[in-house]
């Protein structure tokens, strides 16, 4: 019997996720990339809510991302806001219609069913293994880790809140629990 590789497992998992995603997108008249953008914007912090960060995260061209953002803005799913400090920077945010569509379109039932099949005490073991594989893939690809802010080596807990040690800016609790393009692991 031939050994199954990590690549084979991840490729199959990805195919299942994309299949579920396509089904949901069809219901809402969206393409997979539209749902991926909405999902990313629901999970990113203030350092990562820009078109450039989104482009890095998705690994797509600026043109594809730009056209996608135009369509999502036109549908009333997202809003673009110019940064108050640096007027060259544009921040992206989900509007209520985008949040509602994302909540209905996420292909999470597949994961709920799979989690139910796993014993509760086995799930953390799988989570750790998958994070290890993801980290190795990101390092191999020399890409940003886009990890959760509070797991970053620069995250600093202060007596009165949180601080990004890289930018020296205060962080909200909400930002500390979201993904960041500046994330760095030791």
Average pLDDT of every residue of the chain? 87
Question: Per-residue pLDDT tens for 45-79?
Answer: 999 999 999 999 998 999 999 999 999 999 999 99
As to burial, measured by CB atoms within 10 angstroms (0-12 exposed, 13-18 middle, 19+ buried), residue 130 is: middle
Residue pLDDT, tens place only, 85-118? 899 999 999 999 999 999 888 766 777 777 777 7
Of the two residues 150 and 122, the one the predictor is more confident about is 150
55 burial class (0-12, 13-18, 19+ CB within 10 angstroms)? middle
Which pLDDT does position 9 carry in this prediction?
Answer: 83
Could you state, in order of their start, the residue ranges of all structural domains in the chain?
Answer: 6-117
pTM for the model? 0.81
Q: Give the domain 6-117 fold.
A: Arc Repressor Mutant, subunit A (1.10.10)
């Amino acid at each position: 019997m031939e050994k199954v590789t990590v690549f084979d497992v991840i490729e199959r998992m990805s195919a299942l996720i994309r299949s579920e995603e396509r089904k949901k997108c069809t219901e809402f008249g969206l393409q997979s990339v539209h749902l991926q953008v909405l999902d990313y914007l629901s999970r990113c912090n203030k350092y990562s809510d820009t078109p450039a960060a989104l482009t890095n995260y998705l690994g797509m061209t600026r043109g594809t991302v730009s056209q996608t953002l135009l369509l999502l803005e036109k549908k009333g799913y997202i809003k673009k806001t110019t940064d108050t400090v640096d007027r060259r920077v544009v921040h992206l945010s989900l509007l209520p219609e985008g949040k509602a569509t994302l909540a209905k379109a996420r292909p999470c039932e597949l994961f709920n069913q799979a989690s139910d099949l796993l014993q509760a005490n086995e799930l953390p073991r799988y989570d750790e293994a998958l994070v290890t594989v993801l980290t190795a893939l990101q390092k191999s690809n020399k890409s940003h880790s886009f990890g959760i802010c509070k797991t970053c080596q620069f995250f600093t807990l202060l007596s009165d809140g949180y601080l990004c040690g890289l930018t020296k800016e205060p962080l909200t609790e909400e930002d500390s629990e979201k993904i960041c393009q500046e994330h760095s692991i030791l």
